[in-house]
Chain A
């Protein structure tokens, strides 16, 4: 029986840096990576990004400095013996405060970056606890809402890099009917060891989203080729991966022996692509691939009009 379900996956927002996925509650100071509106711990709608939080900490610290300066300036005015002295103190005090404010404004971006790093270092245990609690929250939905669990795990996996979370994502993906329009990923899910779930997923991705088959995946299938071939759909997986790798000359040239081994099983459109690529670069050293492709051509497509 097919255990796979049709699902609608939440789109994954890509941030330039991983830390931009992390948010902090301004009320209870807990951290989370999940894209919820309110804080899970205090129910307040006060989640802000680390950049915003660092920026607000810098603003508070700058205001504190300016208030201290203002206090000293006011004291100078109050202690003035004459109106003239008060006027001088007031004017100079004001100038100093304005200069200080300008300097702060000028160096503010640098101060925010420093504060950001400081914040992460100071709150490292709270951050770790927050992310682990996010992970627990994701697992709590394991049987209730699989697409949500997957979406949560994917968010967490932006910063948590380990095989456990990758395996959990693969388990979730294995229960979905994958489609071309889904926002899928492959490189971040690659494990160090051989895993049939991953191999099957690679096979599906190779058919649905060829552009996700890149060097790391090709190295993975090359490393675990024998284990993959022992799977029921092993040959189909290897053929799909090789078929997907025919996108660029770079992959064909770099993995020529692999391509050669599965060229015979390639569907006609992929084989035609390979055939044309080799014909386009006849002087390139393909390491025996050309001979094999020519042999297959002679055997299967010699009379096929598409090849002429």
Chain B
């Protein structure tokens, strides 16, 4: 029975990981967003333009 218990845990674990990854695929930052965040970090509070 422990073997099936482990198998169940494995299936649930794989399902949780897969669903989480699948859900997150909709919130993928674009390269432009990444650039914008980096520029904001590097130019915060300076005489930027």
Interfacial residues, chain A to chain B (CB-CB below 8 A): 16-19, 22, 65, 68-69, 72-73, 75-81, 85-86, 89, 92-93, 96-97, 99-100, 103-104, 107, 110-111, 113-114, 116-117, 120-121, 124, 127-128, 131, 159-164, 192
Within 8 A of A (CB), among B7-49: 7, 9-11, 13-14, 17-18, 21-22, 24-25, 27-35, 37-39, 41-43, 46-49
B48 touches which of A77, A85, A162 (Cβ 8 Å) = A162
| Contact of B43 with A161 in the complex, beta carbons under 8 Å | yes
| Contact of B43 with A80 in the complex, beta carbons under 8 Å | no
| Contact of A127 with B41 in the complex, beta carbons under 8 Å | yes
Residues on the B chain within 8 Å of A162, using CB = 43, 46-49
A103 touches which of B2, B6, B22 (Cβ 8 Å) = B22
Residues on the B chain within 8 Å of A22, using CB = 38
Count contacts between A and B, CB distance < 8 Å.
121
Report Cα–Cα, A89/B8, bound state, in Å: 10
Minimal beta-carbon separation of B41 from chain A (angstroms) = 5
B3 touches which of A17, A89, A128, A160 (Cβ 8 Å) = A89
A interface, by DSSP: helix, strand, loop or mixed? helix
B35 touches which of A18, A96, A114, A161 (Cβ 8 Å) = A18
Report if A161-B29 is in contact (Cβ < 8 Å); known contacts: A79-B3, A111-B21: no
| Contact of B22 with A69 in the complex, beta carbons under 8 Å | no
10 examples of A-B residue contacts, CB within 8 angstroms: A22-B38, A69-B10, A72-B6, A77-B3, A89-B6, A103-B17, A114-B27, A114-B29, A124-B41, A128-B41
Q: Which residue of B lies closest to A19 (CB)?
A: B38
Report if A192-B27 is in contact (Cβ < 8 Å); known contacts: A96-B14, A159-B42: no
Report Cα–Cα, A8/B47, bound state, in Å: 31
Residues on the B chain within 8 Å of A81, using CB = 1, 3
Given contacts A114-B29, A124-B41, 4 further A-B contacts (CB under 8 A): A110-B24, A117-B37, A127-B42, A162-B49
Minimal beta-carbon separation of A149 from chain B (angstroms) = 20
List 3 tightest A-B contacts by C-beta distance, closest first.
A76-B6, A79-B2, A80-B3
